[in-house]
Amino acid sequence: MKKTAVDVSHVSMRFNLASQKVDNLKEYFIKLIRRELKYKEFWALQDVSLRIDQGDRVGILGLNGAGKSTLLKIIAGVLKPTEGSVTVKGRIAPLLELGAGFEKEYTGAENIYLYGAVLGYPREFIAEKYNEIIEFSELGKFIDVPLKNYSSGMKSRLGFSIATIVEPDVLILDEVLAVGDAKFKKKCEAKIQSMFDKGVTVLFVSHSLAQVQKICNKAILLEKGKVIAQGGIEEVSAIYEEKTK
C-alpha cells in the first residue's frame, strides 16, 4: 500500500469580509470603537478532506475564487484553517508567492536567514547552504543591497533559490510563479524537473488543463470551497471541461 504524504482532514476556512465601505482610517477607528464595524462571514473552504499518496502529482482545478490558493496556503502552513487539520509527511517546499516573507529594508543576505526562518529551516542549515543559495540566485554583489532596490524578478530569484534549497518530499507549485527572465526560468524548470525525477509528491495549481495533464497523474476539482471531484487526471479533467464549457 502507498504511504500518505499529505492528509487534509475536514478543513474549513472562514474569512471576514467587511460588509460596508469605510473611507478612511479615522472612520475605521470610530466605527471600531463604536462597535459599528460589520463583517460578513465567508467560507472559502468547507469541510475539505483529501489524502495524497507519496509520489502522486496532483493538479488542483477550479474556477476563479474556488479556493485553490487558500487550500495550498493551508497545506503549506502559511494559513491556519478555521477548522480541521493538515498533516504533511516530510519536508515541504512551497513555491507560492515567492518572497512573501521578505523584509525590504534588509539586504538579500539578511533576507536569506529571515525567509529561511519563515519557511521553517534551522539557522545552521541555512548557514550551511548560504553560498549555494547565492550562487543559484546569480545575484552577485546585489546580495548585499537592501531588497527595496531589487526588481521583482530579482526578488523572486532569491525566493526560489531559498525555497528550493531543501530536497523536498512535497512540492507545492503555482502556475503563475514568476521567476525572472527566460534564462533563469529555464534553470528553475530544470531544478523542478530534477525533483520530479526523484519522485517528489507534487501539488500543482493551474488554470491550464493542458499543463495539469502534462504534469499530474491525479486531480482535485474545487467548486465554491468544496471538493466536487477527485481521482485520476482523465476522469477529473472530463468533469472540469464539462464545467467550463
Ligand X SMILES: Nc1ncnc2c1ncn2[C@@H]1O[C@H](COP(=O)(O)OP(=O)(O)OP(=O)(O)O)[C@@H](O)[C@H]1O
- Shortest separation between residue 31's beta carbon and ligand X, angstroms: 19
Side chain identity, residue 65? G
Between 69 and 201, CB nearer to ligand X: 69
- Shortest separation between residue 83's beta carbon and ligand X, angstroms: 15
Query: In whole angstroms, what is the distance from residue 152 CA to residue 180 CA?
Result: 8
Measured at the CA of 17, the angle between CA 16 and CA 23, to 5 degrees, comes to: 130
- Shortest separation between residue 29's beta carbon and ligand X, angstroms: 20
Query: In whole angstroms, what is the distance from residue 38 CA to residue 205 CA?
Result: 33
- Shortest separation between residue 161's beta carbon and ligand X, angstroms: 25
Between 95 and 134, CB nearer to ligand X: 95
Cβ atoms 233, 212 nearer than 8 A: yes
Query: What is the contact surface with ligand X in residues (CB under 6 A)?
Result: 15, 17, 42, 44, 62, 64-70
| Residues forming a β-bridge with 16 | 41
Give the count of beta carbons closer than 10 Å to the beta carbon of residue 120: 11
Between 17 and 182, CB nearer to ligand X: 17
Between 99 and 116, CB nearer to ligand X: 99
Between 68 and 218, CB nearer to ligand X: 68
- Shortest separation between residue 126's beta carbon and ligand X, angstroms: 28
Residues in the chain, how many? 245
Q: How far is CA 108 from CA 24, 165, 170, in A?
A: 35, 16, 26
Cβ atoms 107, 146 nearer than 8 A: yes
Q: Which of 183, 219, 202 is nearest to 66 (CA)?
A: 219
Q: Which of 94, 73, 118 is nearest to 110 (CA)?
A: 118
Between 14 and 91, CB nearer to ligand X: 14
Between 83 and 110, CB nearer to ligand X: 83
- Shortest separation between residue 105's beta carbon and ligand X, angstroms: 25
Q: How far is CA 74 from CA 80, 85, 123, in A?
A: 6, 9, 24
- Shortest separation between residue 135's beta carbon and ligand X, angstroms: 33
